[in-house]
Chains A and B, each alone.
Chain A
Amino acid sequence: MQCESCKEREATIEFTTVAGDEKKTSHLCPACAAAFSQQQAVDEVDMAEPAVKPTPVKKKKANVVVGHLSKSEAKATACPECGMTYDEFRKVGRLGCSACYKAFAKPLKRLLKRIHGADQHVGRVPGQAATATVEEMGNTQVSAVETLRAELVQAVEDEEYERAAQLRDEIARMQPEEVSDV
């Protein structure tokens, strides 16, 4: 059977996508299946929220329980900083600014859960040092060479050419496999 996407290669994979209540099966070759499974992650953002009974804006509390926005609310809810609406975000697939995360907190929480299987960050904060063990492993030959290169640049700037030549030779010793005229 021919791949439904590229129509060139043989379809060997049955690729099923689920959008809301709709289930769609395509027959794809391995290359297109790989490309689609990545596209899926992006498409998740563009997917329309599951159907919700339209709720008047006043009854926001009911929405808190359900956790997503009705169509009219999606149009109405806008980020106070950049003006992007949730509706626009769904079309563009990208948020307008960091404040959007607060403005669209509830639907984003659901979306993040769908995309990542989690909605709570476990990991680094800005400026955090790398952990001890990982830092140790980081002392590889390559980073030592980079330090030497930096010193070489400085030595040339300071017109300390003898020192620069020494550094140059040391770098050459550390990287015998560096290919310069391939």
Chain B
Amino acid sequence: MTRRMKFTLGAMAAFALSTAAMASEVAPEAVEFTDDGVVASLTGTAGDPVAGAEAFKNRKDGNCLACHANSDMSGELFHGDVGPSLDGVASRWDEAQLRAIVTNSKKIFTDETIMPGFYSLDVGEHLAEAFVGKTILTAQQVEDVVAYLGTLKD
């Protein structure tokens, strides 16, 4: 099956499952993790790497720099090192794998990982009311971040 076909089928399956207001959006609990990662787009709309870079660095969105250094953003202050540097990350992981890592890294690494699930409702105890039923990133932001990560090649 070609990636596009999988993508279309995945999006259709998601459409059937999703009760979310956004008709073409895969709900967090409906994201399908396969041996290849999360193959289908979460929205059916191609990710925008420029918007993705913004969501990546913004402290209120991904705040990925809290834990990851990224030479592409050397102009930004304070890169953490809790996780590995993301330089050349797209040469190590393909798109479906990157989407899986950003969506819910616990499904990919181990339950022990410190990295939060950015499009997952499988969260910690005593969730603050303001965040009930909400994911850290929207489905489209995940697509955008994945598109941005795709530009980080060796």
Answer yes or no: do A and B interact.
Answer: no
- Which B residues lie at the A interface, using CB under 8 A? none
- Which A residues lie at the B interface, using CB under 8 A? none
